[in-house]
Amino acid sequence: MPHRVVPRVALAVAATLAVVAAGLVAWRSLTPATPLARAMELAPADATRFSWTDWEGVRRELGVDVDAGSSAGEVDAFLSEAFAADLSSMSALGTSAGVMQEELGFSPATVSWELLAQSGSGAVEVLGVDDAVDLDAVADRLAELGWTEPEEADGVWVGGPDVLAGTGSMLTPELQHVALLADEGLVLTSDQAPYLEEVLEADDGPEDLAELAGSLEEPLSAAVYDGAYACEHLAMSQADDDAQAEADQLVEAAGQVHPLTGFAMGVLPGGDVRAVMQVEDADDAPGDAEARARLAAGSAPGQGGEFTDRFSVERAGSEGREVVLDLRPAEGTYVLSDLTSGPVLFATC
């Protein structure tokens, strides 16, 4: 499907922002679900926030040649480079990578992708693996390190805090319990064995949020939140009174905005960042696109300074219920990691 977009425009407080009309910018293609959306379909239906890292894509983006034979130091160096490029902030495995490589037989150097799904009842890590990860060898390592083998091959290897600490002090608690699904090419982990068992028995994911995530196309790193989480954790209520008062004035000047029913932000190959904000009514999306684009081009109360110090708005528009902003980060900034926690004025509810 051809894209009709606005060319880059000069954005300033007094500038008039050209915003694409609803329906004219088709960022979501008609191709099958993206890797992120497919991964989210594996998560529990009650999950409300997701953190995604396309490790295969990150390795390719950085031109880093790490694999199953790399040392723990080489893997940690890769994680440091990914962090500097704002490509690892969504991962739960940052401090664990070197130890995982050395002790567990899989790590960000070898897995294809990682999705951390969180709900009110628990969290689960879902890791996509291919032939670079020998799950039979992983099973042998788990047994040797003290994990209790399940009766079924696709059951839960029960570890716990003592087993994890004995394996490596830097390992995230999310690796306490493990399921190896060789037929599906998946490794699932959690800090709660009963929750992991529930996840293995579930057969439906959060379809609406997976569809929203599809608008990010194929991000290297991304966050996806439901509306309740976004409206609480990105809210200007996270800021002090002066910042809230300034935000109220800026929103009034920019135009009306509506509460969000979903939020997604991701770093795309090449470095640009896309923010997708979903509203309840498609009729409200065009106005929200204009107002939120104006807010993204001005002051950043609660964050400090101007959003334009961090990025430029390259394109803005709406499609259906979704408002899409394509952002180009300034050199040395961390747009994804900085703007996936509040306060974020242009994501206000």
- Ramachandran region, residue 255 (left: φ > 0; alpha: ψ -120 to 50; beta: rest): left
Let me know whether 134 and 265 are in one domain.
no
Within this chain, do residues 172 and 261 fall inside the same structural domain, yes or no? no
- Reported as type and span, the H/E element at residue 312 is strand 311-319
pLDDT digits (tens, 9 = 90+) for 42-65: 999 999 999 999 999 999 999 999
Q: What backbone torsions phi and psi does residue 327 show, to the nearest 5 degrees? A: -115, 145
* Structural domain contains residue 175: yes
Residues 173 and 255 both lie in one domain:
no
Query: Where in the sequence is the domain holding 303, given as residue range(s)?
Result: 207-347
Does 186 share its domain with 292?
Answer: no
From 201, 222, 253, give the residue that closes a domain.
201
For residue 224, how far is the Cα from the chain centroid?
Answer: 6
Hunting for tokens 């684009």 — which residue is that? 293
Let me know whether 140 and 244 are in one domain: no
pLDDT for 134 equals 96
Q: Are residues 213 and 183 in the same domain?
A: no
The predicted-structure confidence for 221-259, as pLDDT tens digits, reads as follows 999 999 999 999 999 988 999 999 999 999 999 998 999
- For 253-311, what is each residue's pLDDT tens digit? 999 899 999 999 999 999 999 999 999 999 999 999 999 999 999 999 999 999 999 99
Domain boundary (201, 232, 258) is at 201
Residues whose CB falls within 8 Å of the CB of residue 271, separated by 6 or more in sequence, listed in order: 85, 328, 329
Q: Is residue 52, in this structure, part of any structural domain at all?
A: yes
**Residue 254 and residue 307 in one domain:** yes
Q: Are residues 190 and 277 in the same domain?
A: no
* 332 domain-assigned: yes
Cα–Cα distance for residue pair 99/66, rounded to 1 Å: 15
Last residue of a domain, one of 201, 222, 254: 201
Confidence of residue 24 (pLDDT cuts 50, 70, 90): very low
Judge if 132 and 267 occupy the same domain: no
H, E, C per residue of 112-154:
CEEEEEEECCEEEEEEECCCCCCHHHHHHHHHHHCCECCCCCC
Looking at the structure of the chain, the number of domains it has is: 2
Q: What is the mean pLDDT of residues 214-224?
A: 97
Which residue reads 């982990």 in tokens?
189
